[in-house]
Amino acid sequence: MPGKLKAKIVAGRHLPVMDRASDLTDAFVEVKFGNTTFKTDVCPKSLNPQWNSEWFKFEVDDEDLQDEPLQITVLDHDTYSANDAIGKVYIDIDPLLCSEAASVISGWFPIYDTIHGIRGEINVLVKVELFNDLNRFRQSSCGVKFFCTTSIPRCYRAAMVHGFVEELVVNEDPEYQWIDRIRTPRASNEARQRLISLMSGELQRKIGLKVLEMGGNAVVGYLQCFDLEGESGLVVRAIGTACTLDKLSSGSAPNTNTHVHPNTAPASNACNSPSKDGKEPVFGEDLPSFSGPPTPFRALPTSSSSPPPFSPSKPCSRQSSSSDTDLSLTPKTGMGSGGSAGKEAGPLKTLLRQQTQTALEQREFPFFTLTSFPPGFLVHVGGVVSARSVKLLDRIHNPDEPETRDAWWEEIRQEIKSHAKALGCHAVVGYSESTSICEEVCILSASGTAAILNPRYMREGCLDIGSTDHRFEEPSPPSCGFCHIPYDELNMPFPAQLTYCYHCRRQKVPDVLFTTIDMPPEAAVTGKGCLIQARLCRLKKKAQGEVNATAISNLLPFMEYELHTQLMNKLKLRSMNALFGLHIQISVGENMLLGLASATGVYLTALPAPGGIQIAGKTPGDLSNEHHILTIQKRINDTITKNKELYQINPPELTEEVVGSPIPEPRQRSRLFRSHSESSDELSELDLSHGKKDAFVLEIDDTDAVEDIHSLLTDAPPPTGFYSCNTEIMPGIYNWTTGVQMFTSVRVFRLSNANLTNQGLNKIFTDLCENLLKSFYFKLRSMIPCCLCHLNFTVAVPEEELIQVAVTAVAMTFDKDQTQEKPADKPVTKGCSETEEQLQFPLELCADSSSITTQTSSKISGVPESTNVSPRVSSLERSSPLPEGRSRSLRSNRSFGGSSVPVVKMTPLSFLPGTRIIKYLGIINMFFIRETTSLREEGGVSGFLHSFIAEVFAMVRAHVAALGGNAVVSYSMKECVLMENPNKNQAQCLINVSGDAVICVIETDQESMPSTINVVQTCSSGADGAT
């Protein structure tokens, strides 16, 4: 009997009127967990019922605790007919299963109904008593912590990074079951919500088991997705990075080894790099079995050498994880370790090989879902690797079993791995997977950044103090080391223009660098970065089955090529040389494919300056054409000059001699590794020839090309005072203030004209994205100077003539006066004292107005005399000549009294500027369905979605607040599927959101800041010395 779950229903408020005759409600509550149900008494005739129930106790297995949500249903009692459901609350009790997370769930939850939305609130208390489980053959994985954050969470130290974990579960979609024909939409939606909640729980539990098996205690960068395949089923899959995390006690954290480059070393950096407060998470092996001094590498005990802590009675993974181990990660001699670029790289790579070999006995894929790393962890970055595959869902032999999908992903991951290998890299970082489904066709995509990781961090234990020393033996300085090529320059995997690093002059760097990760905080940049997007539409004929899949497969390489060309052009136009956070989404519809690539462009000081763009005509003789080309050329040159100014790109002038490349490569090329499985097994490598050495030639040979160039120039720069990026933080901005506004925006465009061309479509799509950005700038204009961070665009083709773009991002204010490097003091919020106030924890949102609310309740029962000390209340003295007893009873009454709504901040980033995360309370992973049969009455499809998104936010906030948190970090909206039928006055929408609930406190200037500043300063001087 491993656990006891206890729940108490306290009160309700703002309930809807269920009895028209009396304008009141006779509410009671059903509390259900697994197959056990309890009921409260009926609280007659009240919209603000007080149940104050006993503790309902469920004695359950911890396996169930992980899988099942606590289900609370509020009903209206009806003597003569069936009781009407008012709504439900699902509470994920997972956070209570981990000793380091929340200990109690207590608070007001919105009562949610899939047809009516939020209908009042209910106050619930939930606790869990866990008994120690001595069973070695257990199926639960209680205690494994999950984080959506794609870096080492702020108050932890990574003792060991074990690697990739994945899992996938399949079930029949309730919406496609026969019973759906006879049940109500509400019942169907609820069945679906419940099922997905169960599946997510099961998935987490299984991944947790894998983590325990690897010897870890946490999953970082946990990414869970749904595939609504339709007839063939409902898939929930997740990937993440298994780690062993040690909690840092906030007081004793060593402050010595903050690796911060001078450029990125302002005080606020405490928030934007994992080295916050000097609590340096260091990667290393720190297994319980490991003792004594760091042993030589070869003798290193790995998790595989120690007995596996748990031996599951049945295979916990349906993944064919034992197969394909022959495909070792070790770079082939020809590729990796042959003539390496730097002299240190030789032994390093041998080291790597051995390390990875031992590691590989346990794990198949050296993938990391992390996007930012402890300093020194990332040695070199090769480039973006991606793979896509087109599959037919109706060809799955056994749709209820996960094997087929497992095999599909397996195939793609193998491809990613071989791409990385070809780039001379042994690992893939910033790894992610996604799907796009249209009818029976499904595109599976995976992408990441090939990289070489520092094995030293996997070898040594606690490096809290020591790691600064390692910097001196490091082959390359941290500010440019990651740009140095990981592959052998004499035996390059693809032709590239190499030069000596502009920063250290010691090693080779490529001319451009594309990555899917966040920019390492220690990287040296010139000027500021900006959001760069490539957008593309391709029409395709409507088709079925195999023909359709082939058509899509054939289009994919062209789309990737064009997206890549667009990115490259736009990058050059902004005079930048590197992309971070690159995310390419290809979405399939019945008659078109949409491609959207987003990234943050930067000028890396270590990389050569990008050449300009040259326009060339196909027919040199034509005079008018010649003139036309000249004007375009001029416009392009002007734009480049303007952009240089805008993004403050003034790289130091370099003498030509340094630039000389030993490689007589006449053409400058860059390549994106990609492939897709429907084509042959060979890698289809895209060579994007860029013509002459430092100029990028665009040929205008037809109208399409002219259009392309025009579209290049139509991207409007953000208005003054605004910056935008899709990475965690904007390269070149360091002094964030505390103004934060997270938002979600959705737009759907209906294509009116049936005879659209690719060009026309492209224009519409580009305008749609551009207009969205313009709208954001306009709406958030009061926050200037501000930066839109983590702009995450998701495109979809929900119906034949619809294009849907959903964006989630956060606008953050920064201090304009100190945008230059190294602000001496903390950028204390100047215009944002209000926001700052809101962040104090625990903070009552409306100390003032809530106390008035208290007063308001005097109508019903009296005025409490000392509920809140606010000037307004005290001025009301003469209004409370009520009997003592009544006011006392009111005070104990939870539905009124001091109930104020706590502020919960949300952000897609892993931190909140100006604050320090002191506790992670658990993962938030919620799935909601909302349906309406009165679309017009709810304000049309916009009104419907607007209130649904607001409701989702409200439910996330309520859950976080109930856990005792005051913020959600790494928030994301994974899914937003909208189906509408205006003719029938109906619409349905599914939303999946996730994030990490945290407690954060304001970083006060007096306490934490001075020390941080000191640390930063000393370290930056140290870093100077090191370089």
Partner 1 sequence: MAVELDVFVGNTTIMDEEVYQLWLDGYTVNDAVKVRMEGGVLEEFEASADVLLSDTMDQYRTFQMCERLLHSPAKLANQLLFQIPPHRQAILIERYYAFDDAFVREVLGKKLSKGTKKDLDDISAKTSVTLKSCRRQFDNFKRVFKVVEELKGPLVENIRQHFLLSDKLARDYAAIVFFANNRFETGKRKLQYLTFQDFAFCAGQLINSWTIGAVDNMVEDMDVDLDKEFLQELKELKILITDKDLLDQHKSLVCTALRGKTKAFNEMEARANFKAFAFETFIEPCRSDRWTASDMRLYLTHYTNSAHILDTFKHQVVWDRYMGVIKSCIFKMYHD
DSSP-based three-state secondary structure for 933:
coil
CB of 794 to partner 1, least distance (A): 14
Q: How many residues bind partner 1 (CB under 8 A)?
A: 71
**Among positions 342, 943, 1017, 1027, the unique one binding partner 1 when judged by CB under 8 A:** 943
Verify binding: residue 745, partner 1, rule CB under 8 A: yes
CB of 110 to partner 1, least distance (A): 5
377 neighbors 470 (Cβ within 8 angstroms)? no
Please report, as residue ranges, which positions from 919 to 938 form the binding site for partner 1 (by CB under 8 A).
none
Query: Which region among 179-187, 243-251, 635-643, 943-951 touches partner 1 (by CB under 8 A)?
Result: 943-951
Verify binding: residue 193, partner 1, rule CB under 8 A: no
**Among positions 304, 743, 821, 1022, the unique one binding partner 1 when judged by CB under 8 A:** 743
**Among positions 7, 148, 207, 958, the unique one binding partner 1 when judged by CB under 8 A:** 958
CB of 868 to partner 1, least distance (A): 12
* Closer residue to partner 1, CB minimum distance, 460 or 980: 980
The string of DSSP codes covering 261-313 is: -GGG-STTHHHHSTTGGG---------TT--SSPPPGGG---TTTSPPS---S
Residue 818, φ and ψ in degrees, nearest 5: -115, 25
DSSP-based three-state secondary structure for 797:
coil
Verify binding: residue 856, partner 1, rule CB under 8 A: yes
**Among positions 535, 930, 957, 974, the unique one binding partner 1 when judged by CB under 8 A:** 957
Query: Which region among 504-512, 686-694, 847-855, 909-917 touches partner 1 (by CB under 8 A)?
Result: 847-855
* Closer residue to partner 1, CB minimum distance, 599 or 912: 912
Verify binding: residue 859, partner 1, rule CB under 8 A: yes
**Among positions 354, 947, 1017, 1027, the unique one binding partner 1 when judged by CB under 8 A:** 947
Query: Which region among 227-235, 298-306, 520-528, 852-860 touches partner 1 (by CB under 8 A)?
Result: 852-860
What is the amino acid identity at position 755?
A: N
Verify binding: residue 569, partner 1, rule CB under 8 A: no
Verify binding: residue 900, partner 1, rule CB under 8 A: yes
Verify binding: residue 994, partner 1, rule CB under 8 A: no
* Closer residue to partner 1, CB minimum distance, 525 or 954: 954
* Closer residue to partner 1, CB minimum distance, 856 or 1021: 856
700 neighbors 616 (Cβ within 8 angstroms)? yes
From the number of C-beta atoms within 10 Å of its C-beta (0-12, 13-18, 19+), residue 720 rates as exposed
From the number of C-beta atoms within 10 Å of its C-beta (0-12, 13-18, 19+), residue 1027 rates as middle
541 neighbors 534 (Cβ within 8 angstroms)? no
Please report, as residue ranges, which positions from 379 to 418 form the binding site for partner 1 (by CB under 8 A).
none
Q: What dihedral do alpha carbons 710, 711, 714, 718 form, nearest 10°?
A: -150
Verify binding: residue 842, partner 1, rule CB under 8 A: no
* Closer residue to partner 1, CB minimum distance, 549 or 772: 772
Query: Which region among 292-300, 362-370, 746-754, 1014-1022 touches partner 1 (by CB under 8 A)?
Result: 746-754
* Closer residue to partner 1, CB minimum distance, 317 or 858: 858
Query: Which region among 440-448, 480-488, 778-786, 813-821 touches partner 1 (by CB under 8 A)?
Result: 778-786
Verify binding: residue 954, partner 1, rule CB under 8 A: yes
* Closer residue to partner 1, CB minimum distance, 485 or 832: 832
Verify binding: residue 978, partner 1, rule CB under 8 A: yes
d(CA 938, CA 897): 33
Three-state SS for 990-1013 is EEEEEEEEEEEEECCCCCCHHHHH
* Closer residue to partner 1, CB minimum distance, 105 or 480: 105
CB of 743 to partner 1, least distance (A): 4
Verify binding: residue 577, partner 1, rule CB under 8 A: no
What size, in residues, is the chain? 1027
Q: Kindly state the tokens that stand for 1022.
A: 């140290």
Query: Which region among 165-173, 250-258, 528-536, 776-784 touches partner 1 (by CB under 8 A)?
Result: 776-784
Query: Which region among 54-62, 162-170, 668-676, 839-847 touches partner 1 (by CB under 8 A)?
Result: 839-847
CB of 434 to partner 1, least distance (A): 23
* Closer residue to partner 1, CB minimum distance, 745 or 933: 745
Q: Kindly state the tokens that stand for 712.
A: 């290049």
d(CA 508, CA 502): 9
**Which residues of 151-192 form beta strands (DSSP E)?**
156-171
Q: Kindly state the tokens that stand for 417.
A: 């791995």
d(CA 1011, CA 26): 58
Residue among 1025, 1017, 1024, 911 at smallest CA distance from 255? 1017
Please report, as residue ranges, which positions from 751 to 770 form the binding site for partner 1 (by CB under 8 A).
751-752, 767
Verify binding: residue 870, partner 1, rule CB under 8 A: no
CB of 79 to partner 1, least distance (A): 30
Please report, as residue ranges, which positions from 663 to 722 form the binding site for partner 1 (by CB under 8 A).
719
For the window 800-829, what string marks contact with partner 1 as x by the rule CB under 8 A?
--x-x-------------------------
CB of 363 to partner 1, least distance (A): 38
* Edge-to-edge order in the sheet of strand 117-130: 36-39, 27-33, 70-76, 84-91, 105-113, 117-130, 3-13, 56-60
Please report, as residue ranges, which positions from 103 to 162 form the binding site for partner 1 (by CB under 8 A).
108, 110, 118, 121
**Among positions 122, 245, 903, 998, the unique one binding partner 1 when judged by CB under 8 A:** 903
Q: Kindly state the tokens that stand for 40.
A: 């409260």
d(CA 999, CA 925): 17
DSSP-based three-state secondary structure for 664:
coil
Three-state SS for 57-114 is EEEECHHHHHHCCEEEEEEECCCCCCCEEEEEEEECCHHHHCCCCCCCEEEEEEEEEC
DSSP-based three-state secondary structure for 460:
coil
* Closer residue to partner 1, CB minimum distance, 365 or 776: 776
* Closer residue to partner 1, CB minimum distance, 899 or 1008: 899
Query: Which region among 291-299, 898-906, 924-932, 1010-1018 touches partner 1 (by CB under 8 A)?
Result: 898-906
Q: Between the CA of residue 324 and those of 407, 573, 648, 851, what are the distances in Å?
A: 12, 44, 49, 65
DSSP H stretches of helix in 809-926: 833-839, 847-856, 871-874, 884-891
Verify binding: residue 942, partner 1, rule CB under 8 A: yes
Please report, as residue ranges, which positions from 13 to 52 form the binding site for partner 1 (by CB under 8 A).
13-14
CB of 117 to partner 1, least distance (A): 9
Beta bridge partners of 795: 805
DSSP-based three-state secondary structure for 329:
coil
d(CA 622, CA 159): 67
DSSP H stretches of helix in 166-286: 185-214, 269-272
**Among positions 750, 755, 869, 1025, the unique one binding partner 1 when judged by CB under 8 A:** 750
Verify binding: residue 852, partner 1, rule CB under 8 A: yes
Q: Between the CA of residue 372 and those of 239, 503, 794, what are the distances in Å?
A: 17, 22, 22
Beta bridge partners of 510: 498
From the number of C-beta atoms within 10 Å of its C-beta (0-12, 13-18, 19+), residue 350 rates as middle
CB of 834 to partner 1, least distance (A): 6
Give the angle 720-722-725 at the CA atoms, nearest 5°: 140
**Among positions 749, 977, 985, 1017, the unique one binding partner 1 when judged by CB under 8 A:** 749
**Among positions 677, 726, 744, 893, the unique one binding partner 1 when judged by CB under 8 A:** 744
Verify binding: residue 590, partner 1, rule CB under 8 A: no
634 neighbors 708 (Cβ within 8 angstroms)? no
**Among positions 24, 846, 977, 1026, the unique one binding partner 1 when judged by CB under 8 A:** 846
